[in-house]
Amino acid sequence: MSISCKKATELVSKREEGNITLKERYQLLKHISACYLCKFFATQNKQITKSSKKYEAAVLEDNLSQAQKSKMISSILESEGV
Amino acid sequence: MTLQKNQQNLSDWVNQYSDILFRFALKRTNNEESAKDLVQETYLAAWRNVEAYDKTIPVKAWLFAILKNKLIDYYRKSSKNITEELLEDITEKYFDADGHWTKSAYPIEWKKADMESKEFYKILQKGINGLKQIQANVFVMKYLDDMSSEKICKILNITPANYWIIMHRAKIQLRSYLEKNWINQ
């Protein structure tokens, strides 16, 4: 029996979590070979998780301003009664 | 040499490490205000516990250890309303009654290959920030913090089945957001 796109996307997530059964894996592969929408979905999902790992490692220049740093210091000292 | 609870130490640590702590927290909260608060809480805890500081550990590593603990608290505290989140099936708007993609939600081919630039990361950050908080948390814990699903379930006190539903919803929405706001731009 063939599965729906909704079910196929769920199986894509299940596969990424590593807890897909053999039967489900077969159902998913069969669906994806016939459905380009779900094929896009599966490929793109992989790209997103891969990019997220790169995002973690990327050096982005988000900095606190000098004013924010000074305020941070003074509010700690103030709250601690220094 | 013991560390002194003095102003000079505090300002040195803030000036030297607050930017890298902030960046670490920002990637995980995807929200500047929350990231800034976490950094401040980290320094406050460091200030209060300076006497207990183990001098064999570099200050930077010590501060990161504190921040990571604060982040776990943040994930836990901000992952409220699980029941509410589970009741509302957001995947419904992507599929019709038969489980086919609705026309407006059809995935398109991604021809734009760049998903590793600073510009992309800003959009990714917005996309994660736009998710329900618990969805954002499971996504970040898994793909940025590299935690196992068992560990995530334990921290957030959720069942594996619920974890999986939340993660699936996070991914389906994030994909759609990126398609609209990055690929299709």
**Looking at this predicted complex, what is its ipTM?**
0.91
Question: Which residues, in sequence order, are CB contacts of B184 under 8 Å at separation 6+?
Answer: B108
Alpha-helical regions (H) of chain B: 7-29, 32-48, 59-78, 82-87, 118-129, 133-143, 149-156, 160-178
pLDDT at A45 over 80: yes
Instruction: State both tokens at B82.
Output: 């699980």
Is residue B144 less than 8 Å (CB to CB) from chain A?
A: yes
Residue of chain B nearest A14, judged by CA positions: B164
If you average pLDDT over residues B141-150, what whole number do you get? 96
pLDDT digits (tens, 9 = 90+) for A68-79: 999 999 999 998
Mean pLDDT of chain B: 91
Partner B contacted by A74 (CB < 8 A): no
CATH T-level topology, domain B82-183: Arc Repressor Mutant, subunit A (1.10.10)
What per-residue confidence (pLDDT) applies to A1?
57
CA atoms lying within 13 Å on the CB side of residue B112 = 15
Structure tokens at B158: 């959720």
Q: Are B151 and A82 in contact (CB under 8 A)?
A: no
Tokens of B111: 């021809």
- In chain B, pLDDT over 70 holds for what percent of residues? 97
Beta-bridge partners for B95: B101
How many domains is chain A built from? 1
B95 touches chain A (CB under 8 A): yes
Q: Are A8 and A38 in contact (CB under 8 A)?
A: yes
- Domain ranges, ordered by start, for chain B: 7-78, 82-183
**What is the reported pLDDT for B1?**
41
Domain that includes residue A71, residue range: 5-79
| φ, ψ for residue B95, nearest 5 deg | -130, 150
Kindly report the CATH class assigned to B7-78: mainly alpha
Whether residue A30 has pLDDT greater than 80: yes
